[in-house]
Amino acid sequence: MILLTGVTGKTGGETARQLLAKGVKIRAIVRNAAKAEDLRAAGVELVVGDIGDAAVVRQALQGVEKAMLVLPNGKTQQANEQQFTDLAKAAGVKHLVKMSSMEAVPHAETPIPQAHWAVEEYIRASGIPWTMVKPNFFMQNLLASANSIKTQKKFSLPMGEGTTGMADIRDIAAVCVEVLTGQGHTGKSYEITGPEVLTFHDVAARFSEVLGEKIEYVPMAMDQFRSRMTGVLEPWHLDAVCGLFREIAEIGLDHTTDTFRQLMGREPRSVTQFVRDHIAAFRG
Ligand SMILES: NC(=O)c1ccc[n+]([C@@H]2O[C@H](COP(=O)([O-])OP(=O)(O)OC[C@H]3O[C@@H](n4cnc5c(N)ncnc54)[C@H](OP(=O)(O)O)[C@@H]3O)[C@@H](O)[C@H]2O)c1
């Protein structure tokens, strides 16, 4: 049995759907059973409750051989993931896969990658065989700008002239499926990127090519982003996200890896492919 978290979210949900398509038996911890009704109907065993609740996690871990931990960024992420690790160890889990991030490095300077790195270290010290999946910026984050692209032919983010090697969550999930069902992945950290390093101006150019009309990227001042998101994200999370985006603007995620190709035997999806596959969301 494989236990997943975050299946009503982006990467956890896509991983669950790809595992189901392969006929793999899975269980998931969900807060809201109604949101996971499609997955339950497709055969996912649901344990309903909050991941911070040790009794819920203990129940979900019964008879589990492998687990994948995906949680959103927030003040409680590190504590919840460390508690999950302790409970997984006690339950005899034989392989723990953590969704981390490429920015999670020993000397990370902002809270989100710092928390990921701290959890990675905690898992490595736990003695449970592990794999870290460390993606670049998700292409699917661009869907948050779909309305602006559709109606104003532009999008605005506080990433300045910074670069990413953004990756499609369908590819990130495919790596998670391979890690959970294949051999030889324990003790490995996999940095997953798309095929190219791009500024957001380059991303806008990819949109223009596919949509056949000029799409512009307009860098947003960080203060403007902060005031726009005040009240949308809680203060810890907003500060942390601003820190992360400032790093992209100032330093950038400036390299790609060939990890995806080595693991999956094909090229990762490009931004062009991503836009083509979501054209209905972006075309006016
Ligand atoms: N976005 C990026 O560009 C990027 C890049 C690299 C790494 N990452 C990492 O990816 C992770 C986020 O993944 P994602 O975007 O796939 O997540 P997501 O779409 O935000 O989904 C989060 C999932 O976790 C569930 N969840 C949240 N709190 C919970 C709780 N207390 N108990 C049980 N379930 C809970 C949510 O359930 P509900 O539906 O009930 O809310 C949802 O299913 C983060 O750790 C982030 O650092 C992100």
In this prediction, residue 284 carries a pLDDT of: 76
CA distance 71 to 51: 9
In this prediction, residue 54 carries a pLDDT of: 98
In this prediction, residue 174 carries a pLDDT of: 98
The pTM (predicted TM-score) of the whole model is: 0.98
Q: Give the chain's radius of gyration (CA, Å).
A: 19
Residue 8 phi/psi, 5-degree rounding, is -90, 5
Residue 272: closest CA among 180, 204, 172, 186: 204
Q: Domain boundaries in the chain? A: 2-196+253-282
Ligand 1 pocket mutation, candidates 32, 138, 171, criterion most atoms within 8 A of CB: 138
- Helix spans in 27-145 (H): 37-41, 54-60, 77-90, 111-126
Count of Cβ atoms closer than 10 Å to residue 268 Cβ: 28
- 173 within ligand 1 shell (Cβ under 6 A): no
Tens-of-pLDDT digits for all 284 residues of the chain? 999 999 999 999 999 999 999 999 999 999 999 999 999 999 999 999 999 999 999 999 999 999 999 999 999 999 999 999 999 999 999 999 999 999 999 999 999 999 999 999 999 999 999 999 999 999 999 999 999 999 999 999 999 999 999 999 999 999 999 999 999 999 999 999 999 999 999 999 999 999 999 999 999 999 999 999 999 999 999 999 999 999 999 998 889 999 999 999 999 999 999 999 999 999 97
- 9 within ligand 1 shell (Cβ under 6 A): yes
> In angstroms, what is the span from residue 11 Cα to ligand 1's centroid?
8
For domain 2-196+253-282, the CATH architecture is 3-Layer(aba) Sandwich (3.40)
Pick the atom of ligand 1 nearest to 12's CA. Answer: 16
